[in-house]
Each structure stands twice: as structure tokens, then as C-alpha cells.
Amino acid sequence: MEESQSAAHPATPQSAEVANISLSLRIPPFWRDRPRLWFFSFEAATHDVKRCQAQLAQMVIAQLERQDIEQITDLLYNPPAADQYTALKEQVTPMTSSRGLLGDVYMTFD
């Protein structure tokens, strides 16, 4: 009987906290040189977790460095009403990719 009672009750706040800690440990720091691969890793780590777009976006922002956050301030101050994670991913990926906006520009000094 105890077993069926424990299965019927929702998770305790402590177990939810442990699950969140476990998830945060599975998410690596942001890889500026390989953003597409990092997003694959992030999505694999968060696949089984029921999160909304806004929560996923917050989790990504927490992994970004200051220089990256400074480039997305418009998105932070005026987030889209829907698909916040998708909008963030689309803005961050080319910005930080080695083939991104300035990635193909090489400076040479003669």
C-alpha cells in the first residue's frame, strides 16, 4: 500500500531541486567556437525535462559570457511573446560561430 501511495503523490520540492541541480550539471559552459554543437548538447541535456521556451532561454543566457550577452541586449530587453528560446538560438549561433558575422574577416599587418 505504501508503494502505491508514494507513486500517487507528486514529487517533493527537495526531489525537484535535486533534479534541477542534476540538469544544471549536465549543461556544459557555452562553447563560443562551436555554438551549433553546444546547442545540440544543451538540447540533449534538456530533452526529458518539460520546460517552456522562456525557461530554456533563461538556461542558455545563464551559460553565456558577458561579451555574448552584450550582443543580445535587444532580445533581452524586448523578448518575443513566443518562441524565446528559438529566437535566442537563432541570434546567438551566427554571432559566436567561427563562420559568423566577423569570423571570416582576417586582419593582417605588413
Predicted pLDDT of residue 80: 94
Please report the pLDDT score of residue 24 as a whole number: 66
The predicted-structure confidence for 54-81, as pLDDT tens digits, reads as follows 999 999 999 999 999 999 999 999 999 9
Query: pTM for this one?
Result: 0.67
Cα gap 32→40, rounded to integer Å = 14
Per-residue pLDDT band at 107 (split at 50, 70, 90): very low
Per-residue burial over 69-84, b = 16 or more CB atoms within 10 Å of its CB, e = otherwise: eeebeebeeeeeeeeb
Measured in whole angstroms, the distance separating CA 23 from the mean position of its chain's CA atoms is 11
Confidence of residue 16 (pLDDT cuts 50, 70, 90): low
Average predicted confidence (pLDDT) for the chain? 77
Output the pLDDT for position 19.
55
Least Cα distance to 69 among 60, 56, 81, 80 occurs for 60
- Rounded CA separation 57/79 (Å): 10
pLDDT for the residue numbered 65 = 93
Asked if 20 and 59 count as a contact pair (C-beta separation under 8 A), the reply is: no
Domain boundaries, the chain: 2-96
